[in-house]
Chain A
């Protein structure tokens, strides 16, 4: 017999195991509908790889792991994917999350399976790959993706198999060991193979003699595996507690077992490893205990992952009227579920249908009497009373200083508390707030950095602009200097520039070449157009301003009046010049129109010609039209030459 150690504290609640561990595991047939949450494990949710309407075989991959800490999900039975939607999750929050819904077809048809004939030949990476592919997660509690723990950074000397099942009521692992001892041992050997053959200790409480016998029977002398029977005490199945019991070593604060060369796995998980590698079956079923006074057929059931709690309850003949509280998990660490449509997931080891008075209700609690019983009971050697005060007063920093993070939420303190204070709930609250606050601080730090980089960027941009401007200025100055150097006569650039300007002015004044009449005409036309547009714009602005009752309206009004006269003057000037030139824009327009018309007629006739019955006649028409066109063009040209001639003569006269 191996030496075992003891851990601090612990309690002895009523075991209540015999209700459910007497009968063999019953396989529950596939229900009509399966609901598979994409997140059944710690870490990132999987990503659905099927869509509504797809047919899936039993064991087919339906959601793939996203990243290292994540897990694949497979179809537990064959059927059609009916929806990808939000459904209530089996989570303390009772919130909903994305789920794949499968309507089973009752055929329970397996897809392709790839069993391994001789697993001994598999390399480590093959083993890891198979475990990962099968979507194995921890089947004891938190549901941590299995492959993560199986690739530790340090070397492992001890593999601990958690078969303690210390929580009252639950007997899933007990029955599993009695009925699948050989498979469990093979699974352990596979894990040992993966971890370079560490010694293996199976920790099991002494209240499971049949399971102990079954395991011992499955073992043979040459195996590096030992069944260690330990005293029944809650919570010996806590990971850190079990390690202390079996090795006497303590996992450091905020550390993981691998830090001291230990890996811990649940019996259910190693059985799943066996199924995955030897049988090639992914994790799609689990053993769930259905128990409690309201359950008529209390016992253990092999249910498909995704089966709704309601279906399981019906199958186990749970009296819903008698049920006062439904708990998923055990009475110490489980959580109440309201919605029986929530599914069984990979980590759901028990459904407890408690009748009235069976479980302590959320009772009114009294003040803390400072009895200190909680401290005696705490397996993590914390000061629950202090933690309670800090959580209640929201002094989270102090709670952290008192190692709140080491609390495993086992509920031992609350169980012994004579004042029935819901201590664990306070710790959960404090932990949640601390996590949220840490998150916020991280976010704040991030935004501070981003803010500062942005400020820096703005400053940099500004100074870069300034720099550029300066550079341009100096370059220009240098160019000037060079020019001056090359042309020493113009000593003073300013004087030179002034001289240039003057010269140009004079030139303009002395420019004797009079503008041609066309130019003058054009200028007048433009001036008239500009004033017209200006007037239009301002009057529009004026109406807008008036509509909005703007104070600028008065100013605008004046501008409009001024512009109106200006426009009138410009128009008059233009007109005068036109008459002076003998221009007649109206007539010109008429002539232009007749040219265009003639042109159009020709086109039309040509078109008709292509399909016409009597082309001769149309051809004649076309000739006619062409003549008209020519005449019109001539008239227009005459008018225009007149125009150019006349002003010249006008100028001369």
Chain B
């Protein structure tokens, strides 16, 4: 009987000690901020284009955390939807066409001799990718432009074009080999088992 009480006391003590440790840890190592919003934000393409109906990716991340559908971001497309579905344990749904369709990535290009230096595009650019000053020619920092095309509309002389990113030997990469019919045999296949 004594051993029985002894065991209970030991277990109770252990429970108290571990409880205290856990309690301390939860306060001491508290994660600040809203990790889920940040995690969602990480998966969004950060184009900041507002096509999702929010003024930027972070607000949309917040909205997703609050239950909005995950298929409202056209720049991210299927890949983003899939990643979001994985993260939130939801089903991947097709892109909502109401918000736009997936397009190739472009960047803004200002035809500099036509720019009148009105600074309107600077104010529109969500990532400060445009350089210029009043009455001076403006230009886009290509490495920082997200291709959101928000600067297009405000330009009073329509001197901004969206151009697709050029393929160069630096950013070129191989495509996946063509998927051939697995059973078709080649005249040169040396000894490959023909399992047609």
B47, B174, B186, B190 — which one has the most chain A CB atoms within 10 A of its CB? B174
Which of A91, A419, A431 is the one whose CB lies under 8 Å from B192?
A419
B6–chain A nearest beta-carbon distance, Å: 49
Is residue B191 within 8 Å, beta carbon to beta carbon, of the partner chain? yes
Is residue B117 within 8 Å, beta carbon to beta carbon, of the partner chain? no
**A444 to B45, Cβ gap below 8 A?**
yes
Report the Cα distance A448→B46, complex, angstroms.
6
Is residue B171 within 8 Å, beta carbon to beta carbon, of the partner chain? yes
* Secondary structure dominating the interface of B: loop
Annotate A354-378 by CB proximity to B: 1 below 8 A, 0 otherwise.
Answer: 0001001101111101000000000
Which of B126, B172, B188 is the one whose CB lies under 8 Å from A451?
B126
**A454 to B126, Cβ gap below 8 A?**
yes
Is residue A129 within 8 Å, beta carbon to beta carbon, of the partner chain? no
**A448 to B188, Cβ gap below 8 A?**
no
Is residue A387 within 8 Å, beta carbon to beta carbon, of the partner chain? no
**B46 to A445, Cβ gap below 8 A?**
yes
Which residues A412-461 have CB closer than 8 A to chain B? 418-420, 422, 425-426, 428-429, 431-433, 435-436, 439-440, 443-448, 450-455
**B144 to A450, Cβ gap below 8 A?**
yes
Minimum CB distance partner of B48 in chain A: A451
Is residue A472 within 8 Å, beta carbon to beta carbon, of the partner chain? no
Annotate B41-58 by CB proximity to A: 1 below 8 A, 0 otherwise.
Answer: 100111110000000111
Is residue B33 within 8 Å, beta carbon to beta carbon, of the partner chain? no
Which residues A552-573 have CB closer than 8 A to chain B? none
Given known contacts A93-B172, A95-B169, A418 and B193 CB-to-CB distance under 8 angstroms: yes
Interface residues on A, range: 35 or more
Is residue A392 within 8 Å, beta carbon to beta carbon, of the partner chain? yes
Which of B144, B177, B185, B192 is the one whose CB lies under 8 Å from A425?
B177
Report the Cα distance A611→B193, complex, angstroms.
114
* Secondary structure dominating the interface of A: helix
Interface residues on B, range: 35 or more
Which of B47, B175, B181 is the one whose CB lies under 8 Å from A447?
B47
B92–chain A nearest beta-carbon distance, Å: 14
Residues of B close to A366: CB separation below 8 A: 182-183, 185, 189, 192-195
Which of A357, A363, A448, A455 is the one whose CB lies under 8 Å from B189?
A363
Residues of B close to A454: CB separation below 8 A: 126-128
Minimum CB distance partner of B105 in chain A: A440
Report the Cα distance A448→B45, complex, angstroms.
9
Given known contacts A418-B193, A420-B189, A429-B177, A447 and B172 CB-to-CB distance under 8 angstroms: no
Which residues B44-84 have CB closer than 8 A to chain A? 44-48, 56-58
**B181 to A364, Cβ gap below 8 A?**
yes
Residues of B close to A106: CB separation below 8 A: none
Is residue A77 within 8 Å, beta carbon to beta carbon, of the partner chain? no
Residues of A close to B175: CB separation below 8 A: 429
Which residues B142-196 have CB closer than 8 A to chain A? 143-144, 146, 167-169, 171-177, 180-186, 188-195
Given known contacts A357-B188, A418-B191, A447 and B169 CB-to-CB distance under 8 angstroms: no
Report the Cα distance A419→B186, complex, angstroms.
11
**B57 to A451, Cβ gap below 8 A?**
yes
**B174 to A425, Cβ gap below 8 A?**
yes
**B56 to A451, Cβ gap below 8 A?**
yes
Is residue B129 within 8 Å, beta carbon to beta carbon, of the partner chain? yes
Is residue A288 within 8 Å, beta carbon to beta carbon, of the partner chain? no
Given known contacts A89-B169, A428-B173, A435-B173, A448 and B128 CB-to-CB distance under 8 angstroms: no
Minimum CB distance partner of A436 in chain B: B173
**B169 to A97, Cβ gap below 8 A?**
yes
B123–chain A nearest beta-carbon distance, Å: 10
**A450 to B128, Cβ gap below 8 A?**
yes
**A361 to B188, Cβ gap below 8 A?**
yes
Residues of A close to B169: CB separation below 8 A: 39, 89, 91, 93, 95, 97
A93, A95, A366, A426 — which one has the most chain B CB atoms within 10 A of its CB? A366
**B46 to A447, Cβ gap below 8 A?**
yes
**A364 to B186, Cβ gap below 8 A?**
yes
Residues of A close to B144: CB separation below 8 A: 446-447, 450
Is residue A524 within 8 Å, beta carbon to beta carbon, of the partner chain? no
A324–chain B nearest beta-carbon distance, Å: 11
A306–chain B nearest beta-carbon distance, Å: 17
Is residue A92 within 8 Å, beta carbon to beta carbon, of the partner chain? yes
**A420 to B192, Cβ gap below 8 A?**
yes
Report the Cα distance A74→B195, complex, angstroms.
56
Residues of B close to A93: CB separation below 8 A: 167, 169, 172
Chain A residues with a Cβ under 8 A of chain B: 39, 89, 91-93, 95, 97, 357, 360-361, 363-367, 369, 391-392, 418-420, 422, 425-426, 428-429, 431-433, 435-436, 439-440, 443-448, 450-455
25 chain-A/chain-B pairs, Cβ below 8 angstroms: A89-B169, A95-B168, A95-B169, A95-B172, A97-B168, A357-B188, A360-B188, A361-B188, A364-B180, A365-B177, A365-B180, A366-B183, A367-B195, A419-B192, A422-B177, A425-B177, A429-B173, A432-B173, A436-B173, A444-B45, A448-B41, A448-B58, A450-B127, A451-B56, A451-B57
Known: A369-B193, A447-B47, A448-B46. 16 other contacts (CB 8 A): A93-B169, A363-B186, A365-B186, A366-B189, A366-B192, A367-B182, A422-B177, A429-B174, A432-B172, A439-B171, A444-B45, A446-B144, A447-B144, A451-B46, A452-B58, A453-B128
